[in-house]
Amino acid sequence: MKTFQVPSSYHSTLISAVKNKRRTEDKMKKDFTPTLLDFGPLHIYLARHFGFCYGVENAIDIAFRIIEENPGKNIFLLSEMIHNPQVNKDLKNRGVRFLQDTQGKQLIPFDSLQSTDIVITPAFGTSLEIDTLLKSRGIHTENYNTTCPFVEKVWNRSGQMAEKKFTVIIHGKPGHEETRATFSHASSGGPALVIRDMEEAKLLSQFIRKEKSSEEFFELFKGRYNNGFDPTKDLERIGVVNQTTMLASETQQIADFLKHAIREESETKNENTNDRFADTRDTLCYATNDNQSAVTGMLSTPADFAMVVGGYNSSNTSHLVELCELTLPTYFVEGPDKLISKEEILHFDLHTHEEKLKTGWLSDNIPLRILITSGASCPDAIVESVINKISGFINGADSVVW
């Protein structure tokens, strides 16, 4: 397996040892039970899989190497490298400037760039339009590309589908950088449409069955389809790919649901469903699958609450929070500084999109049992700092056995 050079400040001796032990004992990754860190009066259960994925380590490795190899040069990132505040802060502290924010708002004009400047493409990738614009200014984007290989796999699969005259349905958040990039690549070859969730898949099925008009389609999915999209023709043959950080189970549910809608519509025409629906199971990201499966496995362990560590604008992290909330009270924190005291915690509410102060968050239960995981863009060092902060609040939790 390829290894990456990641800043030592992102590593955790404890968590690296835990992960290496689990990897050795479970080489086939079949065991999704958590690892118990026994502090005596405090029991922390770490998810089987969490933290940096292949794509994130690859991006960090490339970005920091670019900085080291190009002293004195202007170095820019198209947007955040990954959705973790600590990593992006570290890049800014090393002189990297961001051209856009995560929503695509321009922070530094493209026309201010020079051909000698370096522009790094983040792990989410970028649109063909932006890539073409940068190359027109003499900037060699291919030399500084950190796009996740699994994102590129989705693009390649979308291209193959387009060649076979399938419309690409993208399960993703419309404003997310990765979804914008995937939509650009997919729509360059043929019809493409972005849907957010199962509710929108149900709406889409009504257009597949010709139950609603084109006018209603254009209004409901405004800004989500490419120019020239014709719902009366372009929903005849479809396939589903995803923003790799979405819930993999939901992507599969959407694909199965839309395939069923195609099947029902095909039966009225005596057509073969397989000729109208592309198989895209191979586009689901393995790391997203593993982290989500590990949370499901972790949640079978009785606990007082769950904690998810990571950037608040991280899509994959937010979905881990959603999974935990189905079973337990859940706190979503960026790092140890949000754990103010044994009485107070500042955590992010996914539903209101704001941080909230919670009092009395740590109970006096002995042992206090906490489930912990983190997003794919969160350094293990931050998770260890959170664990240390919690153990510091509990009398007698001075050493750990695992």
Alpha-carbon distance 317 to 288, whole Å? 10
Which H helix or E strand runs over 341?
none
Closest CA to 321 of 301, 345, 350: 350
- HEC string for 48-76: CCCCCCHHHHHHHHHHHHHHHHCCCCCEE
Closest CA to 127 of 113, 107, 141: 141
- Please indicate whether residue 211 is annotated as part of the active site: no
Instruction: Give the β-pairing of 368-374 and 42-46.
Output: parallel
Phi, psi values for residue 249, rounded to 5°? -65, -35
CB-based burial label for 11 (10 Å; 0-12, 13-18, 19+): middle
Which H helix or E strand runs over 177?
helix 177-187
Alpha-carbon distance 33 to 296, whole Å? 9
Catalytic residue among 57, 80, 177, 178: 178
Which tokens in the block code for residue 349?
A: 């509410």
By the 8 A CB rule, do 373 and 293 touch? no
Alpha-carbon distance 206 to 257, whole Å? 12
Which residues are part of the catalytic machinery? 178
